[in-house]
Amino acid sequence: MVVVLQPVPKCKTSSVLIPVVDLADPTSKTQIVKACEELGFFKVVNHGSLKDKAGPADPFGYGSKRIGLQGDVGCVEYILLNANSHLSSTKTTAVFRKTPAIFREAVEEYMEEMKGMSSKVLEMVEEALGIEPKEKLSRLVKVKESDSCFRMNYYKEKEETQAKKEIGFGEHTDPQLISVLRSNDTEGLQICLKDGTWVFHLITLLSLFLSEILFRKNLNWNIWVTLQKPRKITIFRLRVMTNGRFKSVKHRVLTNTKRSRLSMIYFAGPPLTEKIAPLACLVPKQEDYLYKELTWSQYKSSGYKTKLGDYRLGLFEK
């Protein structure tokens, strides 16, 4: 009797011929006996793993399918970590403690680089828009109190027989200041254009999303960034539209039928106590503010009560 634990090497016909025993199914014993009688070979799923013990995400930690706390689901497995160890939830620490040092160190180093990268881009924005005082934005993601997080997503390839693409991560906008994404160059991420069409994002290895909380009036820009070598970051296209309206692009991930998709995203957020309001140098008159002042903590906690695709700024509209 040969028992194959997942992941199994890819084989087109295997899924048709090989019995699959779901250990979470109460009839699994009977399924095993049947498989042993018929073929003497079977595949085991839901056999429990270290990963399962690390979940479910709260929202930090290891998660499978469930996203957030309001019942959203997607075909995704992920690890969500708080970037600041002093703010870390027990789930973050637990996931991290059980992983090899080599993984922890790599993630920590990557997060540090992404923090630098986020603040660099924000510095460029400050310069381009003449934001005063200096470092008004970039400081927010640099200080030790910054409430940033890091997510690693795994979207398993779909069987070719399942022609229809499934939702890996439903449509949403990111709440933090800036998100830096890197993937294994596998199609899946889509962004929503102004006219509502969804387009696959193929161009880059690393992209930046602007946050929904930079909701300044009359600002709109798009930034695409590529990471050429592991530690060398080059900005190859920065577009600041003249009439300048910030846009927080709606995006989603569809599962891929050819390859599994991996992505890592650093979400650079401000300190929890930071007050978020239009920058005086950009919108001088209070009456022009579209939103009420809020702290990142208020915005975040109201955001976690929403569903992924919800419009989260509604509560703060004037």
Q: Which of 151, 216, 252, 261 is catalytic?
A: 261
Note if 261 is an active site residue: yes
Stretch of 5-13, 114-122, 172-180, 233-241 lying at the interface with ligand GA4 (CB under 6 A): 172-180
Which one, 47 or 247, has the nearer CB to ligand GA4? 247
174 near ligand GA4, rule: CB under 6 A? yes
72 near ligand GA4, rule: CB under 6 A? yes
Q: Is 48 left (phi over 0), alpha (psi -120 to 50) or beta?
A: left
Which one, 43 or 300, has the nearer CB to ligand GA4? 300
Which one, 67 or 114, has the nearer CB to ligand GA4? 67
Which one, 42 or 209, has the nearer CB to ligand GA4? 209
Q: How far is the CB of 174 from ligand GA4 (least distance, A)?
A: 5
Query: DSSP secondary-structure letter at 158?
Result: P
172 near ligand GA4, rule: CB under 6 A? yes
59 near ligand GA4, rule: CB under 6 A? yes
**Nearest residue to 178 (alpha-carbon basis) of 278, 228, 247, 243:** 247
67 near ligand GA4, rule: CB under 6 A? yes
248 near ligand GA4, rule: CB under 6 A? no
Q: What angle do CA 152, 158, 160 make, to 5 degrees?
A: 155
Tell me the H-state helices in the chain.
14-17, 28-38, 50-54, 90-97, 101-129, 138-142, 296-303
DSSP codes, 20-47: EEETTSTTHHHHHHHHHHHTSEEEEE--
Stretch of 64-72, 95-103, 154-162, 234-242 lying at the interface with ligand GA4 (CB under 6 A): 64-72
Q: 13: burial class by Cβ within 10 Å (0-12, 13-18, 19+)?
A: exposed
CA distances from 283 to 3, 133, 219, 229, 236 (A): 65, 14, 10, 39, 29
Site string for ligand GA4, 115-154 (x = CB under 6 A): ----------------------------------x-x---
**Nearest residue to 191 (alpha-carbon basis) of 171, 167, 166:** 171
Q: Which residues pair with 154 in a beta bridge?
A: 77, 262
49 near ligand GA4, rule: CB under 6 A? no
Which one, 257 or 302, has the nearer CB to ligand GA4? 302
Distance, CA of 183 to CA of 200 (rounded, Å)? 13
Number of residues that bind ligand GA4 (CB under 6 A): 17
Residues within the interface to ligand GA4 (CB under 6 A): 59, 67-68, 70, 72, 80, 149, 151, 172, 174-175, 267, 303-304, 306-308
Enzyme catalytic residues = 261
